[in-house]
A and B are shown apart, each in its own frame.
Chain A
Amino acid sequence: MNSRNQILRRRFLAGSAGGLGLATAAIAGCGEVQTVTERVVEVVTKEVPVERVVTREVVKEVPVEVEKEVEKVVEVERVVEVEKETVVEKVVTKVVREAAPMVKAQAVTYWHVWGGPRLPLIEDQVAGFEELNPQIKVRHTLISQTGMDEKYLTAIAGGDPPDVIMLHGQRHLVAFSDNGVLTPLDELLRIDNISKDTWFDYEVDVYTWDGKMFAAPFSTSTNVNLFFWNKAQAQEVGLDPDMQPQTWSELEEAAEKLTVLDGDKVERVGVDPLLGGVRSNYWFRAWTFMNNGRISSPDRKQVLYNSDEGKGALRWLVDFYDTTYGGFENVRPIVSGGSAFRNSFLEGKVSSLFDGIWMFLIMGAQAPDVDWGVAHVPYNDRNPAAKTQYMIEGGWGYAMPTGVKNPDGAWEFLKWTTTDEGNREFFIAQVRPSPVKEFNKDPRFGENFPDEWKLALEVMDLSVHSPASPVQEKLNDITIQMQEEALLHKRTPEDAVEWGATESQKEVDKWWEQRG
């Protein structure tokens, strides 16, 4: 697939140079600008392999090469001034026109799970790709995130997978890769000279299994979960409105002051450390990282969170609710509301919020009058080894299942969405860092939120890969039970963590044993 592309591209470029050499001879033979231009166009056009003219390499890159050659001719021969832009434009236009009927239309089927306000961005992304690749039509289908596993399994098992799928680095990557249903991308990357250094190291780690990269990162694996607070309410209770709490102690102090209680009844929640809600399996692990703990070993065979750091994290969380609210029970209906809790923050009913980077846009659109501050998630200052760091388990990536109908088109689209403008423009619109390191230097990213954007970029540098388990879904369920039992005092935090780690290790061991 790609070796053919490479040869054709080289042939074309070599042909272009040769053609321009002939054109130089023609230039010497006549003197009129118009004639020379036409002659150059004619010669170059003949050398262009028509089957390649509508691929994006030709449309995007070849004009630049032609331009260079024309400049050389003009400079070396010094006989005539050729309007290089005209030449380039004419060459491309002519060959595209000639090639159009010969190029068979291709379809790339593409399944993704990003609906809502992100859907128009996906559509723009697809439109941008099709504009550069007019012979490829991308049929994109929005899949419900809750039903995606069934749909993917059915399509893959039925031998009719879509050409490109959006998958989750934590939940799907290992299971899909280990069963050989995804195409390794390493060779394709090598042929197209795309270095893995394009992305943050931890993003590459997320999509690598058994030494091979099976998907390319589309979004960053971190939601860039930050701490947002209401400055007016902070000032009202005597806190510095620009407080930037950096440690657990500072967060406790802020929580105590910001919380409003009426007896046992919580009138206003000051701080809720549930990143992602009580039914999310994420927040225990995130706080364990902020206590310098780790979840699993790099080889994914050992569960490590039954460490002092893991137990300390859950203990701190339970104590936090007990101390601040008189127990998790008292605050349970308020903090378990998911989006309702976010809305409460926007309405000023709760004073702070741990949430993703999308809050920059949400705050601007839905609560323009709220003066908000933002800071990193704090670390445990009682543990000398602890520091601010963010756990990276996996975000959304793009992969090509094995046996797809249009691997060439799929690879082109996959590159567009994960290494090219299709990725950059999407995340500029989202004000969310791209996994492509270079893109984040684009000044458009931070133009509306310069200070906040710096913070977001720091998160990227403070992120650490936490390898997902081959049985991650089972471990997630165990983690949820563990958290709930500790918060509701069914077990001590230490017992809960020990129980969770033991159950998890059993599942991990079983998987490796069966794999052989």
Chain B
Amino acid sequence: MATVDASAPQAGGKVRLSASRREALWCYTFLSPWLLGFLVFTAGPIVAVFYLGFTRYNVFKAPQWVGLENYVGIFTDDRLFTITLLNTIYFVVISVPGQLLIAFTLAMFLNTRIHGRGAYRTLFYLPMIVPHAAASVIFLWLLHAELGVVKHLLDVFGIPSPLWFQDENWSKPGIILLSFWYVGQTMVIMLAGLQNIPTHLYEAASIDGANVLRRMWHVTIPMLSPTTFFLLVIGLVTHFQVFTFAYIMTRGGPLNSTLFYVLYLYRYAFKNFEMGYASAMATVLFVLVLAVTGITFGTSRHWVHYET
């Protein structure tokens, strides 16, 4: 640690700070806008949510302490809680690994020396700049049961088209397809990860007689595992919060098949004006995501390989 001499006024009344103190001060000065924003707009609301979960609060009037009433209601008297949770888990379990797989495949493809590689990279990343609301409307029409392009394409091959967002069995797969469209960012990070794998490892494997598949299994996948782990954690956290697609396209239907947890929470908060209950739901989701992330971290030591 640096010596502290700030408390001792020097001749002339000036306070002298050690170099490391000065550096720290500047560091916090430059960080302060973000820290302030984080405290006011993120940390503050998070603390408020924990508190409001124990209250009856409709925004118009002051919160009223009700203890565990909201939590008891969620776990014992909410007919849709389990349904929304299962819908969300279904989405997470298919969409997150699906995205990772697609991103990995695309990244492998784009990591080769193919002609027009830059154009492909741009093309696959392009959907990332389309807002979720706009993409939702596009997919609503692409997958329209009667007028959609996908239906007409399937008709050409004589394949019966599902009703997609009007059929409770196909609505979630439809939304998952849309989520795959947003694979661009994951792909770019995967690509960066692939490019960081030292080539001498591949050379060594080749010399040892490893074919392409073996090189992928024994070099690429292990070496990419820290990236995959990072993407998995981020994917889990964001996918548990799926909202916009269902909000725009299906409003939770048909038959509540796309009523995801956060959409349901939103209904409580902004349609029913029950912020206390919605806050309790948010806390439950927070704990759930924390647990899932914790488990993921716990398993990581078995499959994530850091280059030492």
Residues of chain A within 8 A (CB-CB) of B16 are: none
In angstroms, Cα B167 to Cα A488, docked, is 10
Chain A: interface size category: 20 to 34
* Chain B residues closer than 8 Å to A175, beta-carbon distance: 58, 273
Inter-subunit contact A332/B166 (CB<8 Å): yes
With CB as the reference atom, state the residue of chain B lying closest to A477. Answer: B267
> B61 contacts which chain A residues (CB < 8 A)?
179-180
Nearest residue (CB) in B for A507 is B272
CB-based contact A514/B267 at 8 Å? no
Q: Which residues of B contact A334 (CB under 8 A)?
A: 146
Contact B56 A337 (CB under 8 A): no
**B303 CB, min distance to chain A CBs, angstroms:** 42
Contact A153 B270 (CB under 8 A): yes
For chain B, give the interface size range: 20 to 34
- Asked whether any CB of chain A lies closer than 8 Å to the CB of B115, the reply is no
In the complex, the answer to whether A153 meets B144 with C-beta atoms within 8 Å is no
Q: A332-B166, A340-B147, A514-B56 are in contact. Are A150 and B270 (CB under 8 A)?
A: yes
- Assess the A157–B146 pair: CB atoms within 8 A: no
Is B251 interfacial (CB-CB < 8 Å)? Answer: yes
Asked if A130 is an interface residue, CB under 8 A from chain B, the answer is no
B59 and A336 contact, CB distance less than 8 A:
no
Which A-chain residue is minimally distant from B252 (CB atoms)?
A: A477
B residues in contact with A333, CB < 8 Å: 145-146, 163, 166
Specify which chain A residues have a CB less than 8 angstroms from the CB of B56 in the assembled complex: 514
Chain A minimum-CB-distance residue to B166: A336
Majority DSSP secondary structure for residues of B touching A: loop
A490 is an interface residue with CB less than 8 A from chain B: yes
Question: What is the CA–CA distance of A180 and B58 in the complex, to the nearest angstrom?
Answer: 12
- Whether A153 contacts B145 in the complex (CB less than 8 A), given A332-B166, A336-B166, A484-B254, comes out as no
- Please encode chain A, from 391 to 404, with 1 for each CB lying within 8 Å of some chain B CB and 0 for all others: 00000000000000
| Residues of the A chain whose Cβ atoms lie less than 8 Å from the Cβ of B166 | 278, 332-333, 336
Q: A175-B273, A471-B272 are in contact. Are A340 and B254 (CB under 8 A)?
A: no
Instruction: Please determine whether A473 and B146 come into contact, CB atoms closer than 8 angstroms.
Output: no
Q: Does B113 contact A (CB under 8 A)?
A: no
The answer to whether A332 touches B255 (Cβ under 8 A) is no
Additional 5 contacts, C-beta under 8 A, given A179-B60, A481-B255:
A332-B167, A337-B147, A340-B147, A484-B255, A514-B56
Q: Which residues of A line the B interface, CB within 8 A? A: 146, 149-150, 153, 156-157, 175-176, 179-181, 278-279, 332-334, 336-337, 340, 471, 473-474, 477, 480-481, 484-485, 488, 490, 503, 514
Can you offer 12 A-B residue contacts whose CB atoms are under 8 A?
A149-B271, A157-B60, A279-B254, A332-B167, A333-B163, A333-B166, A337-B146, A340-B144, A340-B146, A473-B267, A481-B255, A484-B254
Closest 7 CB pairs of A and B: A179-B60, A333-B145, A473-B271, A333-B146, A149-B270, A157-B59, A336-B166
